[in-house]
Structure 1
Amino acid sequence: MQIVGIKVSWFPAVLSGLLLSVCFPPFSCFPVAAFALAPLIEAVWGREWRYAGRMGFLAGIVHFGTLLWWISPTISQYGNLSDWVAWPVFGLLMCYLAVYPAIWSGLTGYWTAGRSRLPSSLALAGTWTLLEWTRGHALSGFPWGYLAYTLEPVPSMIQTAEIWGPYGLTFLIVLLNVLIWKFCKCILNAGTEDSAFSQSRRVGLTQLCLFLACLVCLWFFGKWRMVEVAHNDDRLPELAVAAIQGAIPQDRKWDPAFQVSTLNTYAGLSSKAAEGFDDSGASSDNGVKVSSGLVVWPETATPFYFQVPSPLSEKVRSVARDLDIVLLFGSPAYRFNGAGKAEYLNSVYVLDSDGAVAGRYDKRHLVPFGEYLPWGWVTSWARDLIPAVGQFSAGITSRPLSCGDLRIGVLICFESIFPSLSRETVLEGANFLAVLTNDAWFGRTGTPYQHEIMSVFRAVETRRWVVRAANTGISSLIGPCGVRTAKTSLFEPDHIEGRIHLRKGHTFYVKYGEIWLLLFCLFWAVVPFWRKVPKEV
């Protein structure tokens, strides 16, 4: 490619990286997802695999660099790192994440260089899906920015997540990109000597139209499922809920001087929310009272050890008693291991309407280099470099918290981006999900929006209501079809209330996960390796 007479071979890769990023919040230009990969495919098709890999790496750097730029200022401000350290640390993360599109591009180049037959479009879609799944699991996992999440603005298109999670939707998006690119390539190369693309335009158009017809069918399926789920939902036990957003500034959150005012803020907002709970509270399918209402506070809403008896702990208990509610809230906690050493936890408590502790959940999937240093001695040297890194220990159970008829599947902050964790707690019997988080770290960037849309997918995958309470937003109530019934703005003290239903049963995805889809993708990813046909002389 030439721009003003200057050869710019890297431009298509950069363009794909930028197009991928604008598909996500705060831009949410979801139609762009249909062709965002096309420039990268054009840049690497038929090229030597090393060159193709470099183009994929560049696209990954641009995409993840523009999608996750907020990481550097966050770790600089709250991790006590100077900018000259924070930006290189961020750069290392970008380099790691860019490896995945680099592998995909390198394989695309390898499969297409020197061949007269095109690799199946399914091979390219399957390979991307496998790599995306790997990124979400390898080295603790970082499943942020899955392509599937670009479809969040179109609820009817994400209903199949109950079958194959976000991975099947990613597969379809990549497949659409490849088919659109191939069709355009056939048009531009019709009648030329390029044997790979000299096929009739009719063939490319037929393939693309058939796939688009399938997408239309999936859209109608989604519409039908939304009606069915909503109809069945109305027959289930109902619960009045409220999510409290205290909007406590991060620089005050852990200051002991503000502990009382913090509790007063949450107590006051909870009182306002409880006024919206009518006298009947919520009823079960046989008319029996389920609960007088549930109020959810965010992650570490109580900036002290609630388990230690104190006036502050008693004040929290009094909120549940005085308002006659079930209270779910985040608090730091600790336990002692077998050696008698204290282990610190990021926990969530549930209090019944008498103020008694009905259960505690400890965060299982901690943030690496934020809440703990992974891999033991391998990264122990980084503690001096990142002095603010936490020393938390992981929880050991996915069992939902129980209080009366409530089976609360708790996800704390980072955990809500992992589909497997919500699957596990629903398999354990959760009849709704509660996401407690603190996104104050990220300011008024697109990050709180990107984080919140993943809870939408957790709702559809499990067909559970999601109550999301965030310290500074976004707090929301999300139905089992991924439709929000209430939502807050950023950095405003607020509360939202509504009715949710306590659901039972398991979706196909909850029962069987994505292993069957991964095997399907693996099959198509292997096919090109034995279909090599030498280019005719």
Structure 2
Amino acid sequence: MSDSAVVPPGIGETFSREAEPAVIVTQHKPSRSFPDSLKSRSTWARLALAAASGFVLYLAFPGIDLWPLAPVGVAGLALATHGVSKKFGALLGFVFGLVFFLRLIPWIGIFVGAFPWIALSVTEALYLTAMGALLPLVWRVRGGLGGLLLASGGLWVAQEMIRGSWPFGGFPWGRLAFSQSEAPTAGLASIGGAPLVSFAVAVAGTLLAWVVLKVWQARALPWRAGPGLVAVLAVMGVGLLIPLPTEGDSTTRVAAIQGNVPRIGLDFNAQRRAVLDNHVQATLELAERVRNGEAEQPDVVLWPENASDIDPLINADAAAEISAATDAIGVPILIGAVLQGPDDHVTNAGIVWRPSEGAGTGDDSTYAKRHPAPFAEYIPYRDFFRNFSKKVDLVTRDFISGDELRENPVGVMRMGVDDQVRVGDVICFEVAYDSLVRESVQAGATMLAVQTNNATFGYTAESVQQLAQSRLRAIETGRTVVNISTVGVSGIILPDGTTAARSGHYTQEVLEATVPLRTELTIATRVGAWPEWILSALGLALLAGSAVAARRRTDDRKTQ
């Protein structure tokens, strides 16, 4: 090192004494401390870095699917918030979050206008705002590099946990884990679920930021970052060491019917009979191919959400059509239907329809969606929100939650030969909620069906974002997951995350595969929400300790 170089502080000093300047051996050249350099130029540099980092994180998600960029986005926000005040950190978090969500979920407003899309993006960005206010404290956490990484990873997990649960049950879309379904990190889901995957990405991103900062402060050549980058790759690749199941206790033949719709958009069901006819027709054609020896006889047939928006429990014509399809294929069909009632509500339901019997009865034959989507399937505080958009009245009747009906609360249905297949029903956005999926498997589901309808989102990335969530759930639970949509993209996913069959978008297709059925629970399913709570608590505890230490140092200075 030359006599004019900056002597970098030790690791402990770097993070616990951040406000102290680096030691300058001579005064010939100014310090190249990263935060000081940015401060001397403009706060706009940090704002630009936060915005760019939010966009980079968006690129990691399905639709673009450059999953290695997820830790890069995390690293950019970490660098932007290094050495700033809590208030400015909050602003940086908001900018990061707003850019990220505006790019990730434009499908929210594709048929209802920009207001819902922008409003939801702003709301979600507020959680990143709170996290941004705390990120400057992360850099001052005691415990050296280990404390830094634990605090950062725990903070990301805590932010996602709160965002995914409040208000109105939360909106978990955009979790770091949901960008990783095709990445090595996905294997971690079988140990600690989606929270552990998000934790690993956050740790890798923060470690990357630390490497960049150390190289910058030490005036080192970029190649000196080699060991640190190897450590980042190790964190992102550790999931490869986790064995994932490829076989089960038995197998079953499954057929998933993607019937397609006559038109896209909010009025996809304006021709409700045509939607039902499409699914009946595709099933009858499958039955014909089975009779001709052109296809294997399925044990389980799955239809998507909204396959019958005509209530087949009160409409004889719809019931007759479904019965004709069921009798032809010779095995039960799990149909997605909209039921009238109770009272002035409607119900988003999955119903097992049996040959020669019709709609099944009892807890093992019906399931009502437990988490209707707010502002889509029901309108909370309708009079208040009508002041912002008259489109709330497009939802003329609110869907009721299955929790209120108390019927088959976890959605495990008996299907297949002699009812030996236990299918856990998950309807649409429910796949994004850890507990809803986990409880179904804990109750005995040997495979999962994700019934969904993507017709209201047009030709957007929403369908592949949801399919990626189903793939992560397969790894997390060790179960075959069949993600079946009215319009696609649908897929049959094996317990190790491998896609056995996949459909196109806005096509009529029948997906078929012989899949394993498993009863053994993964570690993630056994431990439940504990990893999320532990990681969150650990991160917040470290941050609280950092805040207390910072306050004491401030008080000490005042008394000197």
- TM bucket, shorter chain: 0.7 to 0.9
- How much has 1:511 moved relative to structure 2? 2.0
1:413 matched residue in structure 2: 428
- Residue 187 (1) aligns with residue 189 (2): no
Partner of 1:144: 173
**Helix, strand or coil for the counterpart of 1:174?**
helix
The 5-angstrom pairing of residues 110-125 of structure 1 reads 110-112=137-139, 120-125=148-153
Q: What is residue 286 of structure 1 aligned with on the other side?
A: none
Q: How far apart are residue 112 of structure 1 and its match? A: 4.4
CA apart distance, 1:73: 2.2
Alignment equivalent of 1:69, drawn from 86, 101, 106: 106
Match of 2:329 in 1: 323
Partner of 2:494: 479
Residue type of the alignment partner of 1:109: P
Residue type at the aligned position of 2:286: A
Q: What does residue 82 of structure 1 align with? A: none
Q: Which amino acid aligns with 1:323?
A: I
Give the match's secondary structure for 1:386: helix
Q: Structure 1 CA distance, aligned partners of 2:446 and 2:292?
A: 23
Q: Is contact 2:464–2:489 with CA below 8 Å preserved after alignment?
A: yes
TM (norm. structure 2) is 0.81
Residues 186 and 255 from structure 1, CA distance in 2 versus in 1: closer, same or farther, beyond 3 angstroms?
A: closer
- Any stretches of 5+ residues in structure 1 without a counterpart? 77-86, 193-200, 284-290
Letter in 1 for 2:171: F
**Match 1:488 to one of 503, 523, 527:** 503
Residue of structure 2 equivalent to 1:84:
none
Structure 1 residues 52-131: aligned runs within 5 Å:
52-76=89-113, 87-112=114-139, 120-131=148-159
Paired with 2:61 and 2:368, the residues of 1 have a C-alpha distance of 31
Do the aligned residues in 1 keep the contact of 2:494 with 2:515 (CA within 8 Å)?
A: yes
Distance in 2 between the 1:59 and 1:455 partners?
26
Contact 1:280/1:292 (<8 A) preserved: no
1:318-352 Cα shifts (integer Å, max 9, x gaps): 1111221211111111344xxxx343101111112
* TM-score, normalised with respect to structure 1: 0.84
Greater mean alpha carbon deviation, residues 445-454 or residues 291-300: 291-300
Q: Which amino acid aligns with 2:410?
A: S
Partner of 1:218: 239
Shift in Å, 1:186? 1.0
Matches within 5 A, 1:434-445: 434-445=449-460
Q: The residue matched to 1:501 in structure 2 has which SS?
A: strand
Pairwise CA distance, 1:244: 1.1
C-alpha separation in 2, matches of 1:438 and 1:496: 16
Distance 1:481 1:69 in 2: 31
Given that 1:281 and 1:292 are in contact with CA atoms closer than 8 Å, whether structure 2 keeps it comes out as no
Moved more, 506-515 or 491-500: 506-515
Which deviates the most, 390-399 or 466-475? Answer: 390-399
User: Distance between the aligned counterparts of 2:143 and 2:481, measured in 1?
Assistant: 51
1:524 is aligned to: 539
Match of 1:344 in 2: 346
Please report how far the alpha carbon of residue 460 of structure 1 lies from its aligned counterpart in structure 2 after TM superposition.
1.2
Q: 1:184 and 1:315, CA in 2 relative to 1: closer, same or farther beyond 3 A?
A: same
Distance 2:411 2:200 in 1: 33
How far 1:309 sits from its partner (Å)? Answer: 4.3
Comparing 384-393 and 427-436, the one that deviates more: 384-393
**Contact 1:48/1:110 (8 A) holds in 2:** no
Q: CA deviation at 1:115?
A: 10
1:243 aligns with 2:252: no
SS at match of 2:379: coil
Does structure 2 retain, via aligned residues, the 8 Å contact 1:125–1:172?
A: yes
Residue in 1 aligned with 2:370?
364
Q: Deviations over 1:228-262 (max 9, x none)?
A: x11x32xx322211111111024664335x61x43
> What residue ranges of structure 2 are gaps of 5+ in the alignment?
1-36, 404-408
2:32 alignment partner in structure 1: none
Q: Is the 8 A contact 1:437 1:471 kept in 2?
A: yes
- The separation in 1 between residues aligned to 2:541 and 2:138, in whole angstroms, is 11
**Distance in 2 between residues matched to 1:116 and 1:66, nearest whole Å:** 36
Output the amino acid matched with 1:467: V
Aligned match of 1:308: 314
CA contact (8 A) 1:373 1:380 kept: no
In structure 1, what is the Cα distance between the partners aligned to 2:505 and 2:228?
44
Q: CA deviation at 1:425?
A: 1.0
| Residue in 1 that maps onto 2:20 | none
Alignment RMSD: 3.1
**Post-superposition offset of 1:521:** 3.1
8 Å contact from structure 2 (residues 196, 531) kept in 1: no
- Cα displacement (A) at 1:378: 6.5
Alignment: residue pair count: 494
Deviation at 1:277, TM superposition (A): 5.2
| Greater displacement, 365-374 / 115-124 | 115-124
Which residue among 391, 401, 410 is the counterpart of 2:398?
391
User: What percent identity do the matched residue pairs reach?
Assistant: 25
Tell me whether 396-405 or 439-448 shows the greater mean CA deviation.
396-405
Change over 3 Å in CA distance of 1:74–1:420 after alignment to 2: farther
